[in-house]
A and B are shown apart, each in its own frame.
Chain A
Amino acid sequence: MRYVKLSAENFSPFFEALKELGKIYGPVKRNSTYTFVQVDNVKELSLDYTRTILPPKKFFVKPRDKLFRLKKENWEDIKDGESFVLFGVHSCDIHGLKILDKVYLGDPPDPYYKSRRENAFIVGISCMPDEYCFCKSLGTDFAMDGFDLFLHELPDGWLVRVGSVKGHEVVWENQELFEEVTEEDLKHFKEFEEKRAKAFKRSLNKEGLADILDLAFNSQVWKKYAEKCLGCGNCTLVCPTCRCYEVCDNWIRAYEAVRERRYDSCFMPTHGLVAGGHNFRPTRLDRFRHRYYCKSYFDPSAGFNCVGCGRCDEFCPARIEHVRVLEEVREGLL
């Protein structure tokens, strides 16, 4: 990895330089929450944000996504090939994208997702946890790859990790903005990380978790929470690793239709419904449990399907807490 330093006064020129790569999307405060939107000026950015409602997956798997346009009986691909910059992505969300990559870039790759991934320039940014974060216990609190540049906050600027060839190119072409990293900077970097590690309030015990959950299939805890759950599907919409979609064809003119996919949620009763009325997950309990199984599925090569971002907790209207449910299921079994 290459490390360089970006001083505080060069931050704005650096941001301007990134515009070469395309539109820049970054975290902006909207009322009491944050969202990734197009940003023209560094002043609009909220770099100390906690989490956005929708994770950056919305740029790769769009809430509504047009795939094909039907013209004269033939489908034409709808391509969106513009390069763009995602500025200020937290480590957990970078891990979230890596989990999506496993699915969408796996054979056969999804061409829409793939081109957006290739067109994106990702600038990570260090963060401080709030009461919902538990990424540290999942090992997703630090990104080793999956970004082009990663900015770590220093008292007088940023320590920048260069994570890709594209990242190198940007640093190379804007050499005048960067300096060598000093011993002092490294000391500050280390201090920041230590302070951050101590700031986590929530943690998930993942020891044997996958097996314990499987054994607890009939646990009363699932039932208790399924009764509390409103089945609204918020937790799946905001999750950086949830990616179920539904497909619809819509006629827009007499001779023109579009095929569109949009977010679906395993909390919807139709998710497992097939023709003839058979439903493979008929009850709220089946659906509630399924989500926890899906998020806690453990892939030896990729880890869990949850990155501990805390979104599902923050945005659950029934105040159901992910870690709490899992801990109770564990306690109920042991």
Chain B
Amino acid sequence: MSEQHHDHGHDGHEHSELGEMDLRVRALESVLTQKGYIDPAALDVLIDTYQTRIGPRNGARVVARAWVDQEFHDWLLRDATAAIASLGYTGRQGEHMVAVENTAEQHHMVVCTLCSCYPWPVLGLPPTWYKSAPYRSRAVKDPRGVLADFGTTLPESTRIRVWDSTAEVRYLVIPQRPEGTEGMGEEELAALVTRDSMIGTRRVEAPATPGSAA
């Protein structure tokens, strides 16, 4: 690992200038295509996959199923990889899944302090904040401060449990099902579940039902 290729001269001046980054990526794609390392059509499929097929709606369906189906719920907590795979969500960055469930007593939050480990098959690509230094540095020491950045306040009596994803195990938070959703079906429930609630930085809000006393 000690080949001396540090500083190839062009790194220094190509900082965050948007046009330069575009050119740099285009040049790289062109060289890799000419060399036969990549199929340019595969790039389009990869991008389309993460823009339209694999994202937090997958995880929302997992959560909604767990909320309505006790057997699935128990399976998810016992063997998340298998339970999630049964809904068709498998693979890259979700090979080994663990689900953790929020209650009034305990709130779970997930971080990767070392990089950006994240359960892609159920949540898609991580948001910028998840990969950022503020989140990675503070989540393990000041999670209540981080939650406040999201407008989330938990009672002091609620224990916070932070999972630092340091190996290839990926965590999915099952948020608490809000009150007032007893009559809702699985699809309606899935629509309430947000990405941030499955990372643990927000709670799932009760639906604003006209006429309800909540």
Partners in one complex: no
Interface residues of chain B, those whose CB is within 8 Å of chain A, are none
Q: Which residues of A contact B (CB under 8 A)?
A: none
